[in-house]
Chain A
Amino acid sequence: MPKYRKGTEPVPVPTPISQPFWDAAKQHRLTLQRCANGHMFYYARSHCPKCLSNELTWFDASGKGTIYSYTVARRPTSPEFEQDVPYVIGVIELAEGPRMTSLVVEMDPDAVKIGTPVQVVFDDVSEAIALPYFRPA
Chain B
Amino acid sequence: MGGLRGDAAIVGIAEFAPVRKPDRLWMGLEGYAELARLALDDAGLKLSDVDAMMTGHVAEAGPMFMPGHLAEYLGIESHFSEIVDLGGAASAGAVLRAAVAIEAGMCETALCIFHTLPRPQNPMGGNQRWGRNWGSPMTEFDYPYGAIGQNYAYAIITNRYAHEYGLTDEQRAKVAVDQRTNATVNPKAVFRTPIDIDDVLNSPMIVDPLRMLEIVMPCFGGGAVVVTSKERAKKAKNRPAYIIGGGENTTHLSVTYDPDMTHTPIKAAADRAWAMAGVKPKDIDLASLYDCYTITVLLTLEDTGFCGKGEAGKFVEAHDMTYKGDFPMNTHGGQLSFGQAGIAGGISHITEAYLQMTGRAGDRQLKRCDTVFVHGNGGLMSEQVSLILRGE
Interface residues, chain A, with chain B CB atoms under 8 Å away: 10-15, 18, 42-44, 68-78, 80-81, 84, 87, 89, 91, 99-103, 109, 114, 125, 131, 133
Contact = CB atoms under 8 A, between A and B. Distances in A.
A81 B148 CA distance: 10
A77 B148 contact: yes
A75 B144 CA distance: 16
B13 interface: no
Contacts of A15: 134-135, 140
B217 interface: no
A69 B210 CA distance: 14
5 cross-chain pairs, A with B, having the tightest CB-CB distances, nearest first: A71-B155, A69-B160, A78-B148, A72-B208, A43-B141
Nearest to B205: A74
B355 interface: no
A42 B141 CA distance: 9
Nearest to B212: A75
A77 B151 contact: yes
B46 interface: no
A82 to B, nearest CB: 11
Contacts, number: 99
A43 B140 contact: yes
Given A74-B207, A84-B146, A69 B152 contact: no
A42 B142 CA distance: 12
Contacts of A102: 145
25 contacts: A10-B132, A10-B143, A12-B143, A13-B134, A43-B137, A43-B140, A69-B261, A70-B156, A71-B155, A71-B210, A74-B204, A76-B146, A77-B148, A77-B151, A77-B207, A78-B143, A80-B146, A89-B146, A89-B156, A100-B141, A101-B141, A101-B145, A101-B147, A101-B255, A114-B163
Given A69-B163, A73-B207, A77-B152, A91 B255 contact: yes
Q: Which of A13, A71, A89 has the most CB of B within 10 A?
A: A71
A89 B154 CA distance: 12
B146 A114 contact: no
B207 A75 contact: yes
A23 to B, nearest CB: 14
B155 A99 contact: no
Contact of B206 (A12, A74, A80, A103): A74
Interface in B218-232: none
Nearest to B158: A71
A72 B160 CA distance: 13
Contacts of B210: 71
A55 B152 CA distance: 35
A134 to B, nearest CB: 10
Given A12-B140, A15-B135, A133-B145, 5 more contacts: A71-B152, A71-B208, A71-B210, A81-B146, A87-B146
